[in-house]
């Protein structure tokens, strides 16, 4: 009896959603979260530009509002993200920052320490580095990489652990489901961290994926990380129908059902390939197709329909597929 169940009641792991602070004021959005989601992440409110928009000036209001909403509704919080290694995502002042290697390291340490201490006991897990590795198995040539070298990743984890030893620390990235050199480098980094006694507790698979994705590929790569005894968080889950040709407006019933089936297979694959104790959970990147980040800002481009709820917050087949996996 699906009617009696929600995403919060059928899984042993939390099902999360990435939220946007302003949207919490929308009663339908808030009600959907309360009913179905046991963990919140955030699309942008925990990023550097939001928490430290100017050097030394920390602004926690929006992130705190999200944490408060979570606490009031008995939800966990996943922090996203301490460092975003892709260039262009740091606030302008960082790009213009002048300093030697020590200054850069101090800057990084101060941000990580201040943020983790602020949220101590209220945020259970963090993405420490986001998108630091390229698909071809090289480090992204980000500002952190240029200023501090490849070690910046391990240093960031070290500082985070020192600031709050109880928080679970994740290396978050995209495309691990395709395997190859990226996966190999991530595993190497995990090994290096272990040799140095620095905890990388888990791996975040963003898994912004598409309808034509073959679940076995995801499963094989989940298993590689699971065998490494890492926690595994599917951290930004959505399944876009975008590359389905011809494009269909609005979403046809057939595609909507296919999306539901695909989601069911993916969630099952997670449950079957990751041992229970390592299942940190699955977080969808948003709540409804209305505000999915894929659609934002692109006129006539809403052909992704990537999430579990439609524009009116009605549960789609995608939702049904997800819950049926449980």
Residues lying near ligand XIL in the complex (CB under 6 A): 43-44, 130-131, 206, 236, 293
- Give the nearest distance from C-beta 171 to ligand XIL in angstroms: 12
Give the list of residues 6+ apart from residue 144 with CB closer than 8 angstroms, or none. 83, 85, 104, 108, 152, 156
State which residue has the least CB distance to ligand XIL: 293
**Residue 22 or 214 with smaller CB distance to ligand XIL:** 22
What is the Cα gyration radius of the chain?
Answer: 19
- 160 within 8 A of 82, measured Cβ to Cβ: yes
Contact by Cβ (8 Å): 173, 202: no
Least distance from ligand XIL to the Cβ atom of residue 223, Å: 23
Of the pair 44, 91, the CB lying nearest ligand XIL is at 44
* Inter-residue contact 132 to 140 (CB < 8 Å): yes
Catalytic residues: 131, 236
Beta carbon of residue 283, minimum distance to ligand XIL (angstroms, whole number)? 11
Residue 69 vs 293, nearer CB to ligand XIL: 293
Residues 232, 269, 186, 37, CA torsion sign: negative
> Do residues 14 and 38 make contact, with C-beta atoms less than 8 angstroms apart?
yes
CB atoms within 10 A of CB 214: 11
Smallest gap from Cβ 181 to ligand XIL, in A, equals 20
Q: Which CB sits closer to ligand XIL, 78 or 264?
A: 78
């Amino acid at each position: 009896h699906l009617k009696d169940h929600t995403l919060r009641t059928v899984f042993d792991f939390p099902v999360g959603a990435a939220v946007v602070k302003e949207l919490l004021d929308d009663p339908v959005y808030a009600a959907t979260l309360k009913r179905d989601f046991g963990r919140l992440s955030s699309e942008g409110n925990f990023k550097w530009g939001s928490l430290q928009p100017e050097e030394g000036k920390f602004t926690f209001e929006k992130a705190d509002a999200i944490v408060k909403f979570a606490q009031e509704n008995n939800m966990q919080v996943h922090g996203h993200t301490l460092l975003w290694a892709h260039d262009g995502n740091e606030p302008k002042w960082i790009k213009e920052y002048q300093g030697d290697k020590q200054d850069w390291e101090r800057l990084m340490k101060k941000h990580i320490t201040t943020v983790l201490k602020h949220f101590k006991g209220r945020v259970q897990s963090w993405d420490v580095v986001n998108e630091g590795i390229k698909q071809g198995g090289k480090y992204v040539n980000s500002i952190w990489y240029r200023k501090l070298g490849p070690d910046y990743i391990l240093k960031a984890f070290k500082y985070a652990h020192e600031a709050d030893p109880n928080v679970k620390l994740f290396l978050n990235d995209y495309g691990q489901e395709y395997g190859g050199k990226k996966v190999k480098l991530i595993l190497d980094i995990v090994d290096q961290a272990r040799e140095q006694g620095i905890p990388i507790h888990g791996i975040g698979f963003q898994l912004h994926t598409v309808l034509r994705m073959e679940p076995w590929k995801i499963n094989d790569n989940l298993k590689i990380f699971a065998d490494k005894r890492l926690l595994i968080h599917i951290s930004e889950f959505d399944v876009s129908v975008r590359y389905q040709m011809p494009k269909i407006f609005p979403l046809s019933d057939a595609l909507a059902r296919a999306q539901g089936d695909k989601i069911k297979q993916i969630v099952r694959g997670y449950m079957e390939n990751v041992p229970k104790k390592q299942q940190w959970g699955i977080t969808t990147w948003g709540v409804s197709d209305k505000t999915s980040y894929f659609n934002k800002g692109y006129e006539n481009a809403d052909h992704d329909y990537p999430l579990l709820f439609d524009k009116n917050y009605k549960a789609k087949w995608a939702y049904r597929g997800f819950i049926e996996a449980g």
